[in-house]
Amino acid sequence: MTLGGSAAAREEGGGAHRMRGVWLATVANRDWPSRKGLSAAEQRAELLVHLDNAVKARLTAVVLQVRPTADALWPSRYEPWAQCLTGEQGRDPGWDPLAVAVEEAHRRGLELHAWFNPYRVANHTDVNRLSAAHPARLHPEWVVPYGGRLYYHPGLPEVRRFVQDAMLDAVRRYELDAVHFDDYFYPYPVAGKVFDDADAYARYGADFADLGDWRRHNTELLVREMGERIREVRPGVRFGVSPFGVWRNASADPEGSRTRAGVGTYDDLFADTRKWVREGWVDYICPQLYWHVGLPEADYAELVRWWAQAVRGTGVDLYVGEALYKAGDPAQPAAWQDPAELSRHLTLASDFPEVGGHVFFAGRELAKDRIGAMGRVVRDHYA
């Protein structure tokens, strides 16, 4: 049984967790707020528009990024106010965005899933640019620079406990419907760069055959412990993860997908996402299947099939992450210029009873709907 009960139990009474969601990203002001330094009233007004857009699209949930770069969209006891609000990390924006998001989402009949990035500290490598009281400045030994960014060190037990505490602060204080992790655990590989954790591996990794096994163990501890602690703090709050869509290619593992992706969560992000499902450490898994039907390297159809098989019989819900942001982008392949591509995804996924819904990336594209792809989804599937 998963942390929130079996999928069958949750589906009783009309399928309360059939998912129609949208991500609302705050990092670098991607979706909201539209820019740094808006007044509290302007920020609130923009947030409500995003919630209203979700209702108009007949969605059921908003996945709001509340901890984008080891800072917070609520008055956290552990971390500074988020830079995306005022432009100055640590500066009080004059309101509580998470409190308003929860209240106003629920007022509209939407679930509010609080989206946390566990380890990302900054999209630069200068610790001195962080707010003076930032934990990463107070504990520089917790931080690893890599690929032009700063990360908390996943291999240090004190870091793992701290980031859990920081995220659980929100779980304790707000009526969240779910805690949501994205795809960043160990960072995506950068050519020619080494993630410097050799000292920690020497200190803590003696029981593991190689560095990769130790790193996967560290990520496993984060996920398993976080799920257990959510259940202790506020039973009924669900726990979901949205990983990169490929676990392993079949060329690396016969149980992997028939794909040729350049990255896999198991080998490159040190996240054994399939194991988390099999062990029931998460309530839902939402792989980011951001490819079109028929792409040779990563065919959407193949990956839906693989993930449906991965969750079968586990009690873990499967939602599919959809690349709304690609629809109508002239830089994308021809398939994404067709307004019907996303609708085809939902039609195809409907052949698999394990698929419990879809989450669309992201809020900015939901508002613009460049070529009407989301409108087509709503007409075809959400009428």
Q: In this model, does residue 192 exceed pLDDT 70?
A: yes
Residue range of the domain that includes 13: 7-381
Q: What is the per-residue pLDDT for 11?
A: 35
For residues 165 and 209, the answer to whether their CB atoms sit within 8 Å is no
Paired sense of beta strands 355-361 and 317-322, if any: parallel
Q: What is the per-residue pLDDT for 336?
A: 98
Residue 323 structure tokens = 């690349």
> Does 63 map to a domain?
yes
Instruction: Name the strand (E) or helix (H) holding 143.
Output: strand 143-146
> Does 55 map to a domain?
yes
Residue 302, sorted as left (phi over 0), alpha (psi -120 to 50) or beta, turns out to be alpha
Share of the chain above pLDDT 90, in %: 95
**Using one digit for the tens of pLDDT, what is the confidence trace for 71-120?**
999 999 999 999 999 999 999 999 999 999 999 999 999 999 999 999 99
- Cα–Cα distance, 37 to 291 (Å, whole number): 35
**Using one digit for the tens of pLDDT, what is the confidence trace for 293-322?**
999 999 999 999 999 999 999 999 999 999
Mean pLDDT for the stretch of residues 188-204: 97
**Using one digit for the tens of pLDDT, what is the confidence trace for 129-184?**
999 999 999 999 999 999 999 999 999 999 999 999 999 999 999 999 999 999 99
Tell me, what CATH number does 353's domain have? 3.20.20.80
| 34 φ/ψ angles, rounded to the nearest 5 degrees | -65, -25
> Does 84 map to a domain?
yes
> Does 336 map to a domain?
yes
Confidence (pTM): 0.95
Q: What is the per-residue pLDDT for 200?
A: 98
> Does 322 map to a domain?
yes
Q: What is the per-residue pLDDT for 79?
A: 98
Residue 356 structure tokens = 């419990």
Q: In this model, does residue 1 exceed pLDDT 60?
A: no
Q: In this model, does residue 334 exceed pLDDT 70?
A: yes
Average pLDDT over the chain, rounded to whole? 95
> Does 1 map to a domain?
no
Residue 55, beta-bridge partner list: none
Q: What is the per-residue pLDDT for 353?
A: 97
- Cα–Cα distance, 261 to 323 (Å, whole number): 16
> Does 86 map to a domain?
yes
Q: In this model, does residue 383 exceed pLDDT 80?
A: yes
For residues 240 and 284, the answer to whether their CB atoms sit within 8 Å is yes
Q: What is the per-residue pLDDT for 340?
A: 98
Is residue 10 very low, low, confident or very high in pLDDT (cuts 50, 70, 90)? very low
- Render the burial of 346-355: b for 16+ CB within 10 Å, e for the rest: bebbeebebb
Q: What is the per-residue pLDDT for 9?
A: 31
One-letter amino acid at 120 equals R
Domain count, the chain: 1
Q: What is the per-residue pLDDT for 17?
A: 57
> Does 2 map to a domain?
no
Q: What is the per-residue pLDDT for 36?
A: 96
- Whether cis (ω within 30° of 0) applies to the bond prior to 114 is no
**Using one digit for the tens of pLDDT, what is the confidence trace for 345-361?**
999 999 999 999 999 99
Is residue 325 very low, low, confident or very high in pLDDT (cuts 50, 70, 90)? very high
Paired sense of beta strands 149-152 and 143-146, if any: antiparallel
Is residue 2 very low, low, confident or very high in pLDDT (cuts 50, 70, 90)? very low
Is residue 210 very low, low, confident or very high in pLDDT (cuts 50, 70, 90)? very high
